[in-house]
Structure 1
Amino acid sequence: MPHKIASVHPRSTAPRGTTTAALAAFTALALTACSGSGVHGTPGADGVRDPYFPKLGNGGYDVAHYGLTIGYDPESRHLTGEAEITARATQDLSAFNLDLKGLDVQTVVVEGKKANFHRDGQELTVRPPDDLDKGETFRTTVRYSGTPETITDPDESEEGWLRTADGAIALGEPTGSMAWFPANNHPSDKAAYDIRITVPKGLKAISNGELTRESTKNGRTTFAWHSAEPMASYLATVAIGTYEVKRSTTKSGIPVLTAVDPSQVKASAKTLAKIPEIMEWQELNFGPYPFSSTGAIVDKEDDVGYALETQTRPTFPGAPDTELLVHELAHQWFGDSVTPKSWQDMWLNEGFATYAEWLWQEDHGGDSAQEIFDQIYAGDYYESDEDNKAIWAFPPAKPPSAARISDSPVYERGGMVVHKIRQAVGDDTFYDIVQGWTKSRRHGNADTKDFTRYVEEHAGGDAAREKVRAIWGPWLHEDGKPDHP
């Protein structure tokens, strides 16, 4: 989640601009289809009913790959896009939805045939000319263009397509990716990505994964990026600007690519040089790194209001300090590789990334994780009493609303849950649990029940199992400050 500095009515599937007569014919055709005359498919759901963002995501299919071809002109703020989406039907489908906010859709093609489509808010409903069978792999191509939107989160932060002084940056957590490409925009559906971005010559376009090609023609440069490992849509990014790009490798040979705004190069150099060291330390603690490259994007502080764990290449608002870099790199294991099933499970991301900061301090001459835990419990962690009390505002597994999923209980109290597990089972078993968890759920999804069950199964005997079970109620699920630290 961002380190923030301080979202059913029946739908017509007729295309826009349909005449009254044509709409009547279209409706009759749809009713005939529903009557069972040789047609067996039904529409996929227009949301996955996430507890906080029920309209995000869609039912009836699972995406395997996004091929995105984007052109952007910072001066006019005009974006052109083509999204080629390869998916597998998980039911017999007569229609399906994609999430896309704003932008104008020119055409939709399914399996080489032009498809009817309809827009309703963030929902792009597609009716292919032929029903899709359950288990069938199908390809959908959406051509679109326009001025991409900046979306205001329920917590008032901005995401989506953010205009910067020299370009733009796309940040997607939790809803923003639908501002620049159509997708099954929910963390429960992860996919591989190929992202091609064309920008005016002289600018750079940075994205996730590895740069596979860079070419310039007619005053415009195209950058092609490949992400083979599964990625949730909210972790996809594009950063366009005049970045200084540096490449290196970790001791284990993982490529490191950093892209830094020229104004931040000097201030960020010392911290970014620690990426190989941090990666080595995190692999020792969390298990093998789950991706094929790593790095960072550093923009101006005025351009971006928070850091975000965009996959393989976290983004930062100005030069990060070491603890923030540790936090966002830890997310590559916790959040990016092991991704929440819903936005209710954000503490699994933020609790572990916060605890990674505490472990780093413990191992590098700072306060121990136990000392930090004690400071938080005693109300001495922040200078402000209000900030110290805010940690206990709600249990980390039950944020009261979408506007609160990145509040301090999810971070600090989530980190305290992780430390309570360590207290209960001891260091050796704790690190076995952490590394076993990242291995067993590598490139997958998990929720709180999956995690607590895993911890109980690997706690190391009945006594330890009872100790960890005693954590879940007062620390994860119940209101108020637990009686005993």
Structure 2
Amino acid sequence: MRKLLLYLPLFFFFTASAFGQNWDWGGPMDPLQEKFKVLHYQLELEILPESKSIQGKNTVTFEAAEKLATLRLNLIDEYQVSKVTMNGEEVEFSHENDILDITPIDCTCNEVTVYYGGVTPIAINPPWTGGFTWEVDQLGYHWMGLSSQGEGAKVFMPALDHPSSEPSNGVDLYFTVEKPYFVASNGNLLETKERGDKTTYHWSTNYSINNYGINFTLGVFTEASTTYTSVSGKKIPMHVYVLKEDSAQAETLLEVLEVSTATQEKFFGAFPFPEDKIAVVETPYLGMEHQTINAYGNNFRFIPMGDVLYDNLLHHELGHEWFGNKMSVGDWADMWIHEGFTAYGDWLFYEEHGGHEAYLKHAASVIQTLPHARPVLSPVNSTEEEAYHGEIYSKGASIVHGLRGILGDEVFFPMLKAFISDDQFTYQNQVKSSDFIEFVHTYTGNDLSEYLNFYLKTTNLPELKIKKKGSDGYEVSLRGIKFSMPVEVQTSEGIKKIELGPKPVLISSNTEIQVDPNKWFMIRK
């Protein structure tokens, strides 16, 4: 999910909106849904802005190790299911409590098609409390956006709605709308068919995709496009779609997207979906990291930084193409991996375009305002609502920043790129916090599990103790931890890295020392 300039307001919005409808997802996997795996979705919808409704069908391709007595999908009760078919034959089903239970016929088929429709759920406070957002632009055209990170796919289609379930063979998406409307969605636009006063757009991706990353936005847009050359050498289509009233901003937004993509690639490696596209679409809500079609609603608030323009919303959502889309978690307990690493990528924009001092200043400003109210790592089998809070962004990024302080740039940056490039943890292979902890150990040869577990699992901080010893000595320790870490200390001879922990260390200096002057660590002083 997107971040704000400050992280606490994000948490405020989330808590303020929690009194609306609640279609949370995650938690323990339903035992009936553990019995099969989704391979592909083919969603075919007609979008009807006048009635704020959708009508259509979703074909789910799945595999199961044994014959299923019940195929359980999720779809909110607000939609009406008219029929369900397998192998062209109607089958029995029940639909209540947002659960669609299907009784499969006796066949070897592995596809089920659900016909459904109805008035869409309205987003109360998107993207924090999501659903559909229906607006009319300044030219009088309908403008629709969908946000569902907090709710899952069940608010727009029948699906196996759990964060651990991603269609490994991707999705095909067909949207039929009245002219002159366009629908921007995931992957590549394979075909546009006109029939009378209606147009059908066929979008497709073969990459695995998380449920809330599947998305579509309706409007009358101006498109700006170019071909982006990735660090891999691959040429990738790049598009921005903005409302016609904002046409004057399209080319600038495209330039900002190019700069952000190049910056993300420098630190995280090649764009993860080179066979699709890099794109953003203007939405009637703030933003979200929908795969290859990021939602953008930041009103073109570009900030000059160095020789370029920076849009914090665009850059953050784009960063999720690496952490959130390429690398995703199967348990919301580990949600900080999505948000903490992506937020750290925002800090690196300061480094790349504002310089190292700008990076350190930004990091210090975040670290000094952390409330340390909740652990970053939530209990196993958490729901999205249980796991989502402001500190998974800010403290998550601060933990990664501290790793850089421990390891040094020569080790840290190659390690970061190696982690996001590891086949064990990317695309259909999801990641856990324990995977990252073990990866750091394996890659660096340093067991940093105590450091990581301390900051991930607790709200405690090391407490700095300094005791004057003689005329030029200082006894320094960090209380409340059982490990040590290399901390910068400003002495009369300059800045030195000294291993500090619970055991007091004697430091010589003719002037008063400063511990961690550049704020690499979260320490109570």
Equivalent in the alignment of 1:362 = 351
Tell me the SS of whatever aligns to 1:229.
Answer: coil
**What code does the residue aligned with 1:450 have?**
D
- Whether 1:189 and 2:165 are equivalent positions in the alignment is yes
Q: What is the aligned-residue identity percentage?
A: 24
CA deviation after TM superposition for structure 1 residue 270, in Å: 2.3
> How far apart in 1 are the matches of 2:218 and 2:300?
18
- Whether 1:130 and 2:106 are equivalent positions in the alignment is yes
Equivalent in the alignment of 2:339 = 350
- Listed as ranges, the matches of 1:197-216 within 5 Å are 197-216=175-194
Note if contact 1:88-1:137 (Cα within 8 Å) is conserved in structure 2: no
Moved >4 Å (runs of 4+): 53-57, 399-402
**What code does the residue aligned with 1:157 have?**
W
- Whether 1:309 and 2:274 are equivalent positions in the alignment is no
CA deviation after TM superposition for structure 1 residue 263, in Å: 3.2
> How far apart in 2 are the matches of 1:173 and 1:156?
7
C-alpha spacing 1:474/1:372, structure 2 compared with 1 (3 Å): farther
1:218-268 Cα distance to aligned partner (Å, 9 max, x none): 201111101111101110111011111222111231111211122333346
Note if contact 1:474-1:482 (Cα within 8 Å) is conserved in structure 2: no
1:332-391 Cα distance to aligned partner (Å, 9 max, x none): 0100011111111110011111101111101101544433333333x2xxxxxxxx353x
C-alpha spacing 1:56/1:407, structure 2 compared with 1 (3 Å): farther
Note if contact 2:2-2:313 (Cα within 8 Å) is conserved in structure 1: no
Note if contact 2:25-2:162 (Cα within 8 Å) is conserved in structure 1: no
- Whether 1:472 and 2:448 are equivalent positions in the alignment is no
Note if contact 1:48-1:58 (Cα within 8 Å) is conserved in structure 2: no
- Whether 1:270 and 2:259 are equivalent positions in the alignment is no
Equivalent in the alignment of 1:294 = 278
Out of 158, 174, 184, the position equivalent to 2:129 is 158
**What code does the residue aligned with 2:451 have?**
I
Note if contact 2:81-2:117 (Cα within 8 Å) is conserved in structure 1: yes
- Listed as ranges, the matches of 1:210-249 within 5 Å are 210-249=188-227
**What code does the residue aligned with 1:141 have?**
T
Equivalent in the alignment of 1:451 = 436
Out of 300, 304, 318, the position equivalent to 1:319 is 300
Q: What runs of 5+ residues in structure 1 fail to find an aligned partner?
A: 7-46, 380-387
- Whether 1:120 and 2:92 are equivalent positions in the alignment is no
C-alpha spacing 1:401/1:50, structure 2 compared with 1 (3 Å): closer
Tell me the SS of whatever aligns to 1:93.
Answer: coil
Tell me the SS of whatever aligns to 2:463.
Answer: coil
**What code does the residue aligned with 1:3 have?**
K
> How far apart in 1 are the matches of 2:224 and 2:354?
29
- Listed as ranges, the matches of 1:55-74 within 5 Å are 58-74=33-49
Tell me the SS of whatever aligns to 1:340.
Answer: coil
> How far apart in 2 are the matches of 1:68 and 1:294?
22
**What code does the residue aligned with 1:210 have?**
N
> How far apart in 2 are the matches of 1:425 and 1:262?
49
Tell me the SS of whatever aligns to 2:130.
Answer: strand
Q: What runs of 5+ residues in structure 2 fail to find an aligned partner?
A: 5-9, 14-22, 137-141, 303-310, 465-520
> How far apart in 1 are the matches of 2:157 and 2:149?
14
TM-score (ref. length: structure 1): 0.80
Tell me the SS of whatever aligns to 2:259.
Answer: helix
CA deviation after TM superposition for structure 1 residue 2, in Å: 3.4
Note if contact 1:290-1:442 (Cα within 8 Å) is conserved in structure 2: no
**What code does the residue aligned with 1:77 have?**
K
> How far apart in 2 are the matches of 1:184 and 1:219?
34
- Whether 1:371 and 2:361 are equivalent positions in the alignment is yes
Tell me the SS of whatever aligns to 1:94.
Answer: coil
Out of 51, 70, 81, the position equivalent to 2:56 is 81
Pairs aligned (count)? 420
CA deviation after TM superposition for structure 1 residue 457, in Å: 1.1
RMSD: 2.6
> How far apart in 2 are the matches of 1:309 and 1:224?
21
C-alpha spacing 1:141/1:403, structure 2 compared with 1 (3 Å): closer
> How far apart in 2 are the matches of 1:438 and 1:235?
18
- Whether 1:3 and 2:3 are equivalent positions in the alignment is yes
1:426-460 Cα distance to aligned partner (Å, 9 max, x none): 2122122222212212313111111111111112x
Note if contact 1:57-1:185 (Cα within 8 Å) is conserved in structure 2: no
Equivalent in the alignment of 1:29 = none
1:172-201 Cα distance to aligned partner (Å, 9 max, x none): 203142111111122211120110100011
Out of 396, 418, 425, the position equivalent to 2:407 is 425
Q: Which has the larger radius of gyration?
A: 2
Note if contact 1:359-1:368 (Cα within 8 Å) is conserved in structure 2: no
TM-score (ref. length: structure 2): 0.75
CA deviation after TM superposition for structure 1 residue 3, in Å: 3.1
Tell me the SS of whatever aligns to 2:229.
Answer: coil
1:384-437 Cα distance to aligned partner (Å, 9 max, x none): xxxx353x1112112897546442211010001111221222212212222221
1:29-67 Cα distance to aligned partner (Å, 9 max, x none): xxxxxxxxxxxxxxxxxx99933x867993211111111
C-alpha spacing 1:49/1:296, structure 2 compared with 1 (3 Å): closer
